[in-house]
């Protein structure tokens, strides 16, 4: 069992006729994702990978049952595309765009809550359940990284995801569902808001979070564990451990404020509730073993 997406999830692709949209739609379908159609304004009647293209999400849902929408849309058009999908009744949306205006992401997150929907992204590679389905731009054919298994992964980082997940696989584990939260200050959905899905997934035996300095998402995870809302083993790897104190960092999400947000703050919070924080990516798999997580 995977969370967020599986082979029964009916997916449309907004921006399917673009270079990125068409390329990754092909790979999503190769993995097993049930992509049913695409949307690009002005391109209705065309086909991409044998899929019909519509001018609008409204036109698409009139013809197809759609559960989720994958957005390959430039940042300046992302809010309109998300709102269009929400208005059409779609409850799961992934957007990979990097550089969505901050105030627009605040509005997107608010609208998702009002529609009881889940937004993944922006500034993310998306969501993948190896060997089942994906929404996004993962090189799923790299078996040393995207091996099916029982470890849930959530990540704020694009560059660290492959490295840390490869260490999980090297230790003899695999991935149930990997979710790229995104590295921007306001993600559509935060780490802690996905914990309940992993908690209720019988296939997921433990969770690994790939975090970094800045923000308080990792501290929020510790708070949920402290409240008993998440009870499975958890291991974290945090980027920015060696960042100089007091130095302004360039990453959009790397903002440290008022006693929260530094790597030290996050380590203290997570260790305080029994989670383990790996100093090196290679230790993530070792810590899963120490916590007694079974291998399949």
pLDDT of residue 215: 86
Continuous H helices in 132-247: 159-170, 191-199, 217-226
| pLDDT-based confidence at residue 260 (cuts at 50, 70, 90) | low
* Domain limits, CATH 3.40.50.261, in the chain: 142-296
What distance in Å separates the CA atoms of residue 3 and residue 66, rounded to the nearest whole number? 17
pLDDT of residue 8 exceeding 50: yes
Structure tokens at 200: 């209720």
Separation CA 229–CA 237 (nearest Å): 21
The active-site residue out of 27, 64, 140, 251 is 251
Task: Please state, in angstroms and rounded to a whole number, the distance separating the CA atoms of residues 178 and 171.
Answer: 17
Three-state DSSP class for residue 211: strand
Average pLDDT for 111-115: 98
Homologous superfamily assigned to 142-296: Succinyl-CoA synthetase domains (3.40.50.261)
Confidence category of residue 259, pLDDT binned at 50, 70, 90: low
CA angle 141, 143, 145 (to 5 degrees): 105
Compute, in degrees rounded to 10, the torsion defined by CA atoms 133, 138, 141, 147: -70
Tell me if residue 27 is catalytic: no
Query: Residue 8 and residue 12: Cα distance in Å, rounded?
Result: 13
H helices within 64-158, ranges in order?
75-87, 102-114
DSSP 64: S
Average pLDDT, the chain: 93
CB 135 within 8 A of CB 194: no
Q: Determine contact, residues 253/239, Cβ cutoff 8 Å.
A: no
pTM of the model: 0.93
- By the 10 Å C-beta count (0-12 exposed, 13-18 middle, 19+ buried), 144 is classed as exposed
Q: Residues of CATH 3.40.50.720 domain(s) within the chain?
A: 1-123
- Nearest one of 57, 58, 35, 37 to 46, comparing CA atoms: 37
Selection from 151, 161, 87, 90 nearest residue 124 by Cα: 161
Torsion of CA 143, 144, 145, 150, to 10 degrees: 90
The pLDDT-based confidence of 267 (bands split at 50, 70, 90) is very high
252 pLDDT higher than 50: no
Q: Please give the CATH superfamily to which domain 1-123 belongs.
A: NAD(P)-binding Rossmann-like Domain (3.40.50.720)
User: pLDDT at residue 254 above 60?
Assistant: no
What percentage of the chain reaches a pLDDT higher than 90? 86
The residue whose two tokens read 């019909």 is 52
């Amino acid at each position: 069992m995977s969370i967020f997406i599986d082979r029964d999830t009916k997916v449309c692709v907004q921006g399917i006729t673009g270079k990125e949209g068409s390329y990754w739609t092909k790979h999503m379908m190769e993995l097993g994702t049930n992509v049913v159609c695409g949307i690009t304004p002005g391109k209705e009647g065309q086909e991409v990978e044998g899929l019909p293209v519509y001018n609008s999400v409204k036109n698409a849902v009139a013809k197809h049952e759609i559960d989720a929408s994958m957005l390959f849309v430039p940042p300046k058009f992302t809010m309109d595309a998300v709102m269009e999908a929400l208005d059409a009744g779609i409850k799961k949306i992934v957007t990979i765009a990097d550089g969505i205006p901050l105030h627009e992401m605040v509005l997107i997150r608010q609208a998702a809550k009002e529609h009881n929907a889940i937004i993944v992204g922006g500034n993310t590679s998306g969501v993948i359940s190896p060997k089942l389905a994906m929404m996004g731009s993962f090189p799923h054919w790299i078996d040393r990284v995207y091996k099916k298994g029982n470890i849930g992964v959530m990540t704020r980082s694009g560059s660290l995801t492959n490295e840390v997940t490869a260490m999980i696989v090297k230790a003899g584990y695999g991935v149930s569902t990997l979710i790229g939260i995104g590295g921007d200050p306001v993600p559509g959905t935060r780490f802690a808001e996905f914990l309940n899905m992993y908690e209720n997934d019988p296939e997921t035996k433990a969770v690994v979070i790939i975090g970094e300095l800045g923000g308080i998402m990792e501290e929020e995870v510790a708070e949920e564990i402290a409240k008993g809302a998440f009870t499975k083993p958890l291991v974290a790897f945090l980027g920015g451990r060696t960042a100089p104190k007091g130095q302004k960092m360039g990453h959009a999400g790397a903002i440290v404020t008022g006693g929260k947000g530094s790597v030290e703050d996050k380590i203290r919070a997570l260790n305080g509730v029994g989670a383990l924080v790996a100093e090196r990516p290679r230790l993530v798999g070792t810590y899963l073993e120490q916590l007694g997580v079974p291998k399949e």
